[in-house]
Amino acid sequence: MKTIALESDKKTDFLNDRYIWILLIISLSVRIYLSFFTYVIKNDSIAFMQNARYFASGDFLSGLRHDYHPLYSFIMAVLYKVIPNMELSGTIVSVFFGTLTVIVFYLIGKNVFDQKVSFVSSIILAFHPYAVRFSADIISESTYFFFFISAFGLGFFAIINRKLFLFALTGICTAFAYLTRPEGIGILFIVAGWYLFKDIVKIKLIWKEKLVSILILIVSFLVFSMPYLVYIKKDTGHWDLTKKKEVTDLAGIRKVIDTLKNDRLVKEYSNKTKKSDRDIVKQTTAGKSDFKIHLNGILHVIKKYISTFHPFLFIFFIIGVINWTGISKKRFFGFYVASIILFYLIILYRLNLTYLTHGDNIYQYPSRRHLMPLVIPAIFCVGIGMHTTGTWMHEKFQSNSLIVVFKEFLRSAWTIQLIVLMVVVSVILPKTLKPQRVDKSGIKIVGQWIKENSHKSFPAILSASARNAYYAGGKHVQMESINGALAFGRANKADYIFISHSEYEAIEEELQQAVRNKKIILVYKYIDKNSLNGHNVFLYKVIY
């Protein structure tokens, strides 16, 4: 009876928590707003929607065959049965999980710190520019955020409370995170590692408990993830975590091995050559030393992480890290968060090596979509930083005789902390609410023109982006290079050729000559009035 009463009290506390309802309204409103002002879908959205169509029609093998992990598309397909509009279904799923991520984040913080620190942190997450953008797009990010943060929080509580059901829930959420994106499996290793390490001095007394807990964690993960792992094995012929990259590539190991082999060969060759040749080799390889490659890679990942975090928020993050131990002495949670961020940053850095190319800008990886899951746990530090700043300002105001008029209003530290919160939100809000891909409007407008004016029900469109064919309701023919695009289009029976302004400038003479020779005809030109020709679009019809 006591257990039932306790569960009832917790449910009542949850429903009566006004901060949850405030966060729910704010998070949902901001994400719905931006979804209306996201003018063009992302390229990846097309693949997710196509996979969802396969699932909705019962063709599961085709849905699983794509490189993208299936859970997001599967959830879209389920909703599509109720709302027969795939684009709308994908947006609703993203908004839904993006909003739930904020609520789960708040509940984790409330149980680790206190209600106010958690609320401030959650408001920042609710308004974070990239958290909102990814929640308004038809991509898997917000779904991944939800399961990743859920596994992150459940894993922490499983470690400190040593409850078997929490390890089971952690494994399940980790499996769902993995089924959304392959890197979700990382939480499994972090939770298992920390649980083994914690209380290691008592290992002789509790080793059986640790073994059972970790087995439950792994088994609960495998129950939900094994069918997809088995499918990958059957489809590729070997065990792997994902079809997108092999495990060695995922961690950047293969590239490191290749780099080391190349360095060894260069050294062996230089030892066999004359002194003058050795000098040439030395000059050639000096700029590509291991130290420079690794240093540039580390700096690139850190810069990208800070810019994704938001430089202004990062200031409060630093303040929060410095003052971490002043908030309820939650040191272990700090180490837990730091280990997750460091673990994934190292993987992203190693994966960065797989994208090495020659030239000055040799690092093209990772993207903000990979870094945002690592920003979310760190936002707790932002909340602590703002809490500390508000407390410090409150002490200064109370001791300052010049603002005696406002002392009554500012007598509460919480009031000042809320003022600091409003200032911070006002700084990041313009970026959060900025309309997305307005510059790509030509893609949608030209595609819709084709749909309305083409005599074919399924026209073939040569372009650099599959979005053109999506909005036209036609077949996409991938333009690998603008050079030779006209001949390639005719060879592949393209009905239309979609040319951006930069592509037009690259082959302007060739296009004009083809028009004179009556091989193509300009049927539509989109003029972007908000830019200096940079986003103009040209649509040519191929004449056979």
Per-chain mean pLDDT for the chain: 86
Q: Burial, 94: exposed, middle or buried (Cβ in 10 Å; 0-12, 13-18, 19+)?
A: buried
Residue 483 has pLDDT above 70, yes or no: yes
Q: In total, how many domains does the chain have?
A: 3
Residue 224: pLDDT band by 50, 70, 90 thresholds?
very high
| Statement to judge: residues 194 and 310 lie in one domain | no
pLDDT at position 389 is: 93
pLDDT score, position 249:
56
pLDDT tens track for 416-445? 899 999 999 999 999 999 999 998 999 999
Question: Is residue 5's pLDDT more than 70?
Answer: no
CA–CA dist 57, 69 (Å, integer): 18
Note whether 402 and 518 are same-domain residues.
Answer: no
Determine the structural domain holding residue 292 and report its residue range. 254-432
Report pLDDT for 426.
Answer: 97
The enclosing domain of 466 has a CATH number of 3.40.190
Q: Which of residues 484 and 14 earns the better pLDDT score?
A: 484
Task: Determine the pLDDT at residue 236.
Answer: 87
Whether 319 has a pLDDT exceeding 90, the answer reads yes
Choose one of 405, 432, 459: the last residue of a domain: 432
Mean pLDDT, range 483-489, rounded to an integer: 89
Q: Does the pLDDT of residue 286 top 70, yes or no? A: no
pTM of the model: 0.89
Q: Are residues 67 and 199 in the same domain?
A: yes
Say if residues 157 and 107 touch (Cβ distance below 8 Å).
no
* 338-395 pLDDT tens trace: 999 999 999 888 887 776 654 445 566 788 999 999 999 999 999 999 999 998 888 8
Q: How confident is the model at residue 281 (pLDDT cuts 50, 70, 90)?
A: very low
* Phi, psi (rounded to 5 degrees) for 83: -120, 95
Query: Could you tell me the pLDDT band of residue 8, with boundaries at 50, 70 and 90?
Result: low
Among 496, 454, 447, smallest CA distance to 470 is for 447
- Are 180 and 73 contacting, i.e. CB atoms less than 8 angstroms apart? no
In tens, the pLDDT along 153-211 reads: 999 999 999 999 999 999 999 999 999 999 999 999 999 999 998 878 777 777 888 99
The set of residues, in sequence order, having a beta carbon less than 8 Å from that of 424 and lying 6+ positions away, is: 124, 312, 313, 316, 386
What is the distance, to the nearest Å, from the Cα of residue 458 to the centroid of all Cα atoms in its chain? 33
Using the predicted structure, report yes or no on whether residue 328 has a pLDDT greater than 70: no
Q: Find the Cα–Cα–Cα–Cα dihedral 80, 86, 91, 93, rounded to 10°.
A: 30
Q: Which pair of structure tokens corresponds to residue 474?
A: 């036609």
Instruction: Report, as an integer, the average pLDDT of 261-275.
Output: 50
Residue showing tokens 């913080």: 109
| pLDDT tops 80 at residue 294 | no
Average pLDDT over residues 278-296: 60
pLDDT grade for 260, boundaries at 50, 70 and 90: very low
Q: Does 241 map to a domain? A: no
Final residue belonging to a domain, choices 185, 206, 236: 236
Q: Does residue 209 share a domain with residue 146?
A: yes
- For residues 86 and 109, membership in a common domain is answered with yes
Say if residue 474 is in the same domain as residue 519: yes
The answer to the question of residue 181 being in a domain is: yes
Indicate if the alpha-carbon torsion angle 449, 455, 458, 463 is positive or negative.
Answer: negative
Q: Please give the pLDDT value at position 482.
A: 86
C-alpha triplet 150, 152, 155: angle, nearest 5°: 100
In a domain, 225, yes or no: yes
The pLDDT of residue 32 is: 98
Count of H helices and E strands in the chain?
25, 5
Q: 457 and 317 share a domain?
A: no
- Tens digits of residue pLDDT in 491-512: 999 999 999 988 998 998 999 9
Q: Per-residue pLDDT for 400 more than 60?
A: yes
Number of Cβ within 10 Å of residue 291's Cβ equals: 7
* Bridge partners for 477 per DSSP: 462
**What residue type is 311 in one-letter code?**
P
Q: Is pLDDT at 246 greater than 70 in this prediction?
A: no
pLDDT in tens, 112-132: 998 999 999 999 999 999 999
Do 398 and 261 have their domain in common? Answer: yes
Residues 57 and 139 in one domain: yes
pLDDT of residue 268: 52
Query: What whole-number distance in Å separates Cα of residue 308 and Cα of residue 374?
Result: 10
**Six token digits for residue 249:** 């590539």
